[in-house]
């Protein structure tokens, strides 16, 4: 199970309801819990079989935007629901906070990532060349005012 340093009422087994993803029903026995929360953002840590296997970090912006800065799942744990569980949790946290959108960017050449985010309703709004990685980057946004896909 997942534990966290985040505030919340304790439920069965010492796990806070706010610490788990999708009501503790994430696919493939996965759990994502908040590893740390501040007024500026939150880190989520995903576990598979009790082992940390992924993480993501978001920042709350003053303009009502939640910025997903990074998301990573260890290769052996990929395709087991960890990324989906974290994304659902991020969307839920952003809605709870009253954010109007979630924004992120990813390498244009990464078609798996593009499909993952598109599945949640993210839409491209800009492209730019990032010199330090010499790559085209897509900026995408999920409008939280629209119904979920």
From 26-35, 82-91, 139-148, the region with the lowest mean pLDDT: 26-35
Q: What is the pLDDT of residue 38?
A: 60
For range 52-67, the mean pLDDT = 92
Q: Residue 14 — pLDDT band, cuts 50, 70, 90?
A: very low
In DSSP terms, 32 is beta-bridged to: 46
Least confident stretch, 10-14, 71-75, 83-87, 143-147: 10-14
* pTM of the complete model beyond 0.85: no
d(CA 67, CA 64): 10
Q: How far apart are CA 81 and CA 84, in angstroms?
A: 5
Among 13, 73, 4, CA closest to 34: 4
Q: Which residue has the tokens 């740390």?
A: 36
State the pLDDT at residue 110: 93
Calculate the average pLDDT of the chain: 77
Which tokens sit at 119? 């599945």
By CB neighbour count within 10 A (0-12 exposed, 13-18 middle, 19+ buried), where does 39 fall? Answer: exposed
pLDDT at 1 over 80: no
Cβ neighbours around 63 below 10 Å, total: 8
- pLDDT at position 140 over 90: yes
Which of 144, 76, 146, 78 lies closest to 116, judged by CA? 78
């Amino acid at each position: 199970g997942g534990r966290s340093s985040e505030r919340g009422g304790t439920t069965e087994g010492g796990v806070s309801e706010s610490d788990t993803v999708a009501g503790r029903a994430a696919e493939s026995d996965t759990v994502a819990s908040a590893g740390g929360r501040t007024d500026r953002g939150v880190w989520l840590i995903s576990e598979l079989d009790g082992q940390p296997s992924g993480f993501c970090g978001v920042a709350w912006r003053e303009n009502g935007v939640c910025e997903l800065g990074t998301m990573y799942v260890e290769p052996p744990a990929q395709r087991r629901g960890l990324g989906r569980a974290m994304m659902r949790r991020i969307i839920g946290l952003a809605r709870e906070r009253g954010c109007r959108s979630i924004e992120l960017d990813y390498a244009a050449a990464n078609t798996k990532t593009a499909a993952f985010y598109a599945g949640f309703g993210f839409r491209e709004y800009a492209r730019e060349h990032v010199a330090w990685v010499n790559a085209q980057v897509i900026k995408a946004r999920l409008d939280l005012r629209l119904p979920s896909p």
